[in-house]
Structure 1
Amino acid sequence: MLKMMTFQGLLGQHPMPRTPDFLGHPQKLPSTSEVDSEASMSEASSEDLVPALEARVAPEPEGEEAVEEKEKKKKPKGLASVFSIFKGRKRKKEKSSPSSGQPEPGPGLNSPPPTVEELKAALEAGRLEAAGLLLALEQELVAMAMAGGMDEEELVRRQSKVEALYVLLRDQVLGLLRRPLDTAPERLHQALAVVAEQEREDRRAAEAGPGAATLATTRPRCWLQQWRHTVAVVAAERMGVRPATGTEGRSEMEGAFLHMGRTMKEDLEAVAERLRPLFPAEFDVVGTYARSYHEHFAAHAATLAQFELCERDAYLLLLWVQNLYPNDILRSPTLAAELQGVSLGSLLPPRQIRLLEASFLSNEVDNVKELMARALELESQRWTQDVAPQKLDGHCHSELAIDIIQIVSQGEAKAENITPDLGLQIKQVLLVELATFLRSYQRTFDEFLERGKQLKNYRANVIANINNCLSFRTSIEQNWQVLQDPQRQLLDPLSEIKSHGFDILLQNLFVDLKPLFKRFTKTRWAVPAETLEEILATVDGRLPEFWKLQDCFREELMEAVHLHLVKEYIIRLSKRQLVLKTAEQQQQLASHILANADTIQLFCKQNGSPASWLHPALPTMAEIIRLQDPSAIKMEVATYATSYPDFSKGHLSAILAIKGNLSSSEAKSIRNILDINMGVQEPSRALFSLIKVG
């Protein structure tokens, strides 16, 4: 029986080599403008980012108001307060006036702005605090461009310096987010904060509308989108690693699916457990990683679906698409809740899945048919080659039924592994194929019954095939109840195999019993006890062979023997060769019949016959022979007809012929009792319909 295949089970069969640590890829995020930014920043100074007074306003007389205005323009608001983060830089200290007595000013509003080299060095050193300075410089540059008064070429040059620093900042931030599990939580929080700040600035710029025409449009920067792209790149790298070769019994495609499935599951579990608590909700970190891994998985599956795959790989593709991927990964205990709101969909479109399923069903049904035919061919060869059947618990045994049931069950299980609905579809088709096989099995068995009678192991193989019917019937009754008419399609061939087998086993016995039963009439029932004793001894000699049958079949066979004994006994009484004139003679015969009936019933019951319905047949007939009152005989006949609906006037006439002291009118009156409709149903078991009377 094909075991249910699960993702966990597949992973547990052969350990796969570990792939690199999740999100620990050493590559740096590529930057298309990195070389240009290095060159453009090499000549920059603080004057590139903090405009000189001359570049901002026209010269004016040095009045008090002019001096104040000049001082305001030299110190752009909002920048000096954040420059203090660059502690430790060596700057020239302004000496305080000796006469003032004031201490030297510390970093603060009077601190000079950082140079481009200092910002560059800070960013290269990973000091993401500089992101705030860079944003402030960008905003100040935009403000100056909007205010006018500065040379356009100078504005463009300064903007290029700002953008060069942004390239460096972006590479630093996305580089950290590319390897989040290798990054300290504090640093990760900083990088996430920078991306979130840039997203807010993108939205603010979009709401503000177009800026000065002098500056190139740099918003939106879309760093959140670039981070998502980085995740997709990492997912492709992780999923695209080729698994180690040499995995026993696995195709290249199977190994690739196992690697991708395990990698996706383990990585998403790490994201959910370790990253989701650290990332802001707007990043949708679990959904972003899940979609990236899913897209790579789906692209790989779609590519494979375009090729003409072997049956094994086509089945494996369906198994992953319809079962293992959605159930063992997406709905696994650790990920089901995390992915509940993430709509990933199927790895393949519905139309492609339907085509693959149709191909699978066709191939699998053909395989089942071929395997069943081959199993029957091998079994029939053993019969004709006179190979003795196996013995199991003392019974003749054949593996045919087990093989066929396993073949059909495996086909059904493979489909159910894909989806329950596909399992139901193939079950309906396999029902038809199983019924066809059983008819073929019946025909092959009948041919053997005709041609193999001279073989030494002929009868043992007949018994083995009868026993096969039990395994078939049990499996059908337990597993194939979807049939509208299972009796006709599946059970009828089994009944015929059993019936024909019984005929072979009983044929010689019944032939041997025939001359013994004839003695009853030849001796005019003078010594019925001795004749019956010889009959039962003959039956007893055949019983050891019957014990090789399964118990249920042995009981059925003994019931057939029981029926034959009662039937032949009645036939001998119905020969019209015995006419008894006196009541005493009739009572003596009735006593013999009663004694024989008890002997037959006891013998058959002790040897397993369940045919208790046969027990009244002979005693009631003896009572009809014994009784002398026509009314009493009528009542007994009426009761007899109720127990045995196939008891006819012909059978009654043959019994009444024994009573030589009964007038023709009385006999006719007794026979007419059978004309009365007593609501008798058709017989469920045949007895008198098997007895022909002249």
Structure 2
Amino acid sequence: MKKGASFRRSLRFGNKRDGERNGKQGPPLADDLLEKTDKKEEIIKEVEELYTLPEIPQTPPSVMQISKMIEVEVLEVAHVNLLSLRLEYQKEREQRAADCSVELSKKEKDLNLLYRDLRNKISTIVRESNSLPVSNKALLVPIARIIQEEERRAGEPGGLPDSWMEAWRESVYEGVRVKVNNVHLDQREQNSSWLAVHLGLLGKTIVEDLENVKRDLKISYPASFRVFSTYVTKYHKVVGQHLKKLEPEVTELKDLYALLDWILNEYESEKIMSCPSLQPEITEEHTVLQLEENFLKQLKDKFCCKVKEDMREILERVIQLEFDDFWKDRKMPQKEDNFLNAPFHMDIWTKVKGTIVNCGKLEPSLEKKVTSSCIGELKNFPKRFETEFKRHCSAFQPQPLWAQYLITYINSFAALLEHMEGYQDSCPKEVEEFRGEVKWLIARLRQTLEDQFKEDIKPYMRRMMTRKWLTSDEDFNHLRHHTELLSQHCDVTRPPHAQEFVSELHYHVVREYIGQLMKYNYNCRNRRHERAAAKIRHQWSQLRHLFENMVIMVFLLNTFSLFEGIYLFIYFVLLRKLTF
């Protein structure tokens, strides 16, 4: 027996079929089945907008009886009896307008309490309607009629002051809110993918709920209720509020990305709001989340800040890895394409590129902001790296390993700059600032390498053009040895830094070698004069041969030839003026 039927009969509120059953024999079985089939087909159709209000009893039952009807969800009967009580109140109110008795006030209070109970019951049913069994959803039809009737009687004495339709919408909102809040959410400590899992379940819940609205709930209301549209609108609002509540817990970069991707892409996609199963109704609805003002902007800013923090941590790990893998154990640097190379430049570029490409999938404007954040954080990396490198490795001077490290980082930072210059068009300011920092670092590293070479050959250059020099090749052999080491260093230095390096040191050797002729003036006569000239030509030929064999560009060779021409001219002038 349907819930509340026995109570209805006890109050003698029968239905048409009850009357027929009392007055004549029931229909044949086949007709009964046909009638049931017709009723089933009627349920599938949308509820008509127009309706006929059941007959209002002349005398209302007691307040307790009406309250009981509401409690057992015999809502249609409860409502017409409540209307009877309301009409009775209105009549008494008109008769006693000048003299408002205690009895009238009591009846007004009873009406208010009963209406509140009815609305609360309706709100509960509507709130839970998307979770009720299909059979219980038949309650929604009388609920819709009650709301229509109360909206029509709005403003009449004895009713509730606020809108029943708005109360219905609020109940829909509460039901949606409960649904969303009941979506499973793991603790961050329990599941590293807690947010991605939750958002996936949330999207699934939204689609399933709206499918149910489209299939079952929509047909329980007249078209004027715009049921599907109302549920979609409430989901926009509730989900926006839910994400706002989640946001403080979202602190990791991957989770921030997942949240932004869900908001910007997935929510409006065919996975959720544009799901084919929701067509054609969803095409008439807005599919955009209802987010609080500036929430999305704040979320993007938070994401960009986290990108910078993440990049800073990665760069610190790069330095730590260099220490662990090379500096700590004085390990030789690696080679790539015959050049000394530290792989961190590729690691950094891969991370930056991956982050930027992924952000481009979210939103073009966010891609630009993230690019700016990444390269902006890179600006401080050269100085930070140099500080740690010198702190851990300065003691290696003047060992060959020190020079190899210098060359390695000249090559690696030059490669890193080349990678980042690909973002010149999108972030010119940040790229220019990073370029300046890298160039200054490379200049300092190269200067350190040049200073070491100059310091290495200084004692041997100082003893050139002396009496010992004429009789011994020891100092020149040391000079040649260091120049050969220089040649080896240049072989593993990437252009154009190798050419610049060779050019500077070639100039220095030429200048210092000739400088000795200008500093020292001692007498050598006869064949000693010839021996000195021959030795100068022989040594210069060896030095020239060493520098020519280094990897240099053609225009630098021409520059070197110019240097040699100038200084050879000086040689001959000095040789003619000196007394040997």
- 2:85 is matched with none
- Tell me if the contact between 2:176 and 2:235 (Cα under 8 Å) persists in the aligned partners: no
- 2:442 is matched with 494
- Tell me if the contact between 1:239 and 1:296 (Cα under 8 Å) persists in the aligned partners: no
1:42 aligned to 2:3? Answer: no
In the TM superposition, residue 329 of structure 1 has moved relative to its aligned partner by: 0.8
Tell me which amino acid in the other structure corresponds to 1:491: K
In the TM superposition, residue 551 of structure 1 has moved relative to its aligned partner by: 5.2
Q: Which residue, 422, 426, 440 being the options, matches 1:478?
A: 422
**Structure 2: gaps spanning 5 or more residues:** 26-35, 80-120, 275-281, 523-532
- 1:326 is matched with 264
- Tell me if the contact between 1:473 and 1:494 (Cα under 8 Å) persists in the aligned partners: no
Alpha-carbon distance between aligned partners in 2 of 1:266 and 1:256, rounded to the nearest angstrom:
15
Q: Which moved more, 1:252-261 or 1:242-251?
A: 242-251
Name the structure with the higher helix share: 2
Alpha-carbon distance between aligned partners in 2 of 1:303 and 1:272, rounded to the nearest angstrom:
28
Change over 3 Å in CA distance of 1:507–1:333 after alignment to 2: farther
Q: Which residue, 83, 92, 103 being the options, matches 2:24?
A: 92
Q: Which residue, 76, 92, 95 being the options, matches 1:166?
A: 76
Structure 1 residues 113-162: Cα deviation after superposition (integer angstroms, max 9, x where no partner):
xxxxxxxx999999769x99x95462xx36xx8xxxxx545999999999
Alpha-carbon distance between aligned partners in 1 of 2:173 and 2:38, rounded to the nearest angstrom:
23
Change over 3 Å in CA distance of 1:196–1:598 after alignment to 2: farther
Structure 1 residues 316-372: Cα deviation after superposition (integer angstroms, max 9, x where no partner):
7754654422332135687468376356421x5537974x77777777656655654
In the TM superposition, residue 608 of structure 1 has moved relative to its aligned partner by: 1.8
Change over 3 Å in CA distance of 1:426–1:180 after alignment to 2: closer
- 1:451 is matched with 395
Change over 3 Å in CA distance of 1:277–1:320 after alignment to 2: farther
Change over 3 Å in CA distance of 1:224–1:167 after alignment to 2: farther
- 1:12 is matched with none
Change over 3 Å in CA distance of 1:137–1:38 after alignment to 2: farther
Tell me which amino acid in the other structure corresponds to 1:389: M
Q: SS where residue 311 of structure 1 aligns?
A: coil
- 1:345 is matched with 290
Alpha-carbon distance between aligned partners in 2 of 1:223 and 1:38, rounded to the nearest angstrom:
31
Q: SS where residue 290 of structure 2 aligns?
A: coil
Q: Which moved more, 1:412-421 or 1:547-556?
A: 412-421
Change over 3 Å in CA distance of 1:374–1:203 after alignment to 2: closer
RMSD: 6.5
Alpha-carbon distance between aligned partners in 1 of 2:413 and 2:547, rounded to the nearest angstrom:
24
Change over 3 Å in CA distance of 1:156–1:372 after alignment to 2: closer
Change over 3 Å in CA distance of 1:349–1:601 after alignment to 2: same
- Tell me if the contact between 2:378 and 2:434 (Cα under 8 Å) persists in the aligned partners: no
1:467 aligned to 2:449? Answer: no
Alpha-carbon distance between aligned partners in 1 of 2:268 and 2:74, rounded to the nearest angstrom:
42
- 1:311 is matched with 251
Alpha-carbon distance between aligned partners in 2 of 1:202 and 1:386, rounded to the nearest angstrom:
86
Q: How does 1:342-381 map to 2 (within 5 A)?
A: 344-346=289-291, 348-350=292-294, 354=298, 369=312, 372-373=315-316, 375-377=318-320, 379-380=322-323
Change over 3 Å in CA distance of 1:197–1:557 after alignment to 2: same
Alpha-carbon distance between aligned partners in 2 of 1:246 and 1:431, rounded to the nearest angstrom:
30
Q: SS where residue 482 of structure 1 aligns?
A: helix
Q: SS where residue 341 of structure 1 aligns?
A: coil
- 2:332 is matched with 389
Alpha-carbon distance between aligned partners in 2 of 1:513 and 1:266, rounded to the nearest angstrom:
86
Structure 1 residues 577-600: Cα deviation after superposition (integer angstroms, max 9, x where no partner):
79xxxxxxxxxx9xx99x999998
Alpha-carbon distance between aligned partners in 2 of 1:167 and 1:253, rounded to the nearest angstrom:
48
TM (norm. structure 1) is 0.50
Alpha-carbon distance between aligned partners in 1 of 2:383 and 2:447, rounded to the nearest angstrom:
14
- 2:89 is matched with none
Q: Which has the larger radius of gyration?
A: 1
Q: How does 1:284-295 map to 2 (within 5 A)?
A: 284-295=226-237
In the TM superposition, residue 39 of structure 1 has moved relative to its aligned partner by: 1.6
TM (norm. structure 2) is 0.58
Q: SS where residue 338 of structure 1 aligns?
A: helix
Alpha-carbon distance between aligned partners in 1 of 2:384 and 2:188, rounded to the nearest angstrom:
44
Q: Which residue, 602, 606, 609 being the options, matches 2:552?
A: 609
Tell me which amino acid in the other structure corresponds to 2:559: L
Alpha-carbon distance between aligned partners in 2 of 1:534 and 1:456, rounded to the nearest angstrom:
15
Q: SS where residue 232 of structure 2 aligns?
A: helix
Q: How does 1:78-157 map to 2 (within 5 A)?
A: 91-92=23-24, 135-136=51-52, 138=54, 141=55, 152=59
Q: Which residue, 378, 385, 392 being the options, matches 1:441?
A: 385
Q: Which moved more, 1:283-292 or 1:429-438?
A: 429-438
- 1:297 is matched with 239
- Tell me if the contact between 1:286 and 1:339 (Cα under 8 Å) persists in the aligned partners: no
Aligned residue-pair number: 490
Q: How does 1:443-592 map to 2 (within 5 A)?
A: 443-447=387-391, 450-453=394-397, 457-479=401-423, 481-483=428-430, 485-504=433-452, 508=456, 510=457, 514=461, 518=465, 539-540=483-484, 543-550=487-494, 552-564=496-508, 567=511, 571=515
Q: SS where residue 330 of structure 1 aligns?
A: coil
Tell me which amino acid in the other structure corresponds to 2:452: I
Alpha-carbon distance between aligned partners in 1 of 2:496 and 2:220, rounded to the nearest angstrom:
70
In the TM superposition, residue 501 of structure 1 has moved relative to its aligned partner by: 3.2
- Tell me if the contact between 1:415 and 1:426 (Cα under 8 Å) persists in the aligned partners: yes
Q: How does 1:217-232 map to 2 (within 5 A)?
A: 226=168, 229-230=171-172
Alpha-carbon distance between aligned partners in 2 of 1:614 and 1:540, rounded to the nearest angstrom:
21
Alpha-carbon distance between aligned partners in 1 of 2:265 and 2:20, rounded to the nearest angstrom:
57
Tell me which amino acid in the other structure corresponds to 1:41: R
**Structure 1: gaps spanning 5 or more residues:** 1-30, 50-82, 94-120, 146-150, 524-530, 579-588, 626-651, 661-694
In the TM superposition, residue 547 of structure 1 has moved relative to its aligned partner by: 3.2
Structure 1 residues 514-557: Cα deviation after superposition (integer angstroms, max 9, x where no partner):
489759x988xxxxxxx999988974565445433345544444
- 2:202 is matched with 260
Alpha-carbon distance between aligned partners in 2 of 1:612 and 1:396, rounded to the nearest angstrom:
24
Alpha-carbon distance between aligned partners in 1 of 2:163 and 2:304, rounded to the nearest angstrom:
52
Tell me which amino acid in the other structure corresponds to 1:609: I
Change over 3 Å in CA distance of 1:385–1:301 after alignment to 2: closer
In the TM superposition, residue 609 of structure 1 has moved relative to its aligned partner by: 0.5
Alpha-carbon distance between aligned partners in 2 of 1:392 and 1:277, rounded to the nearest angstrom:
73
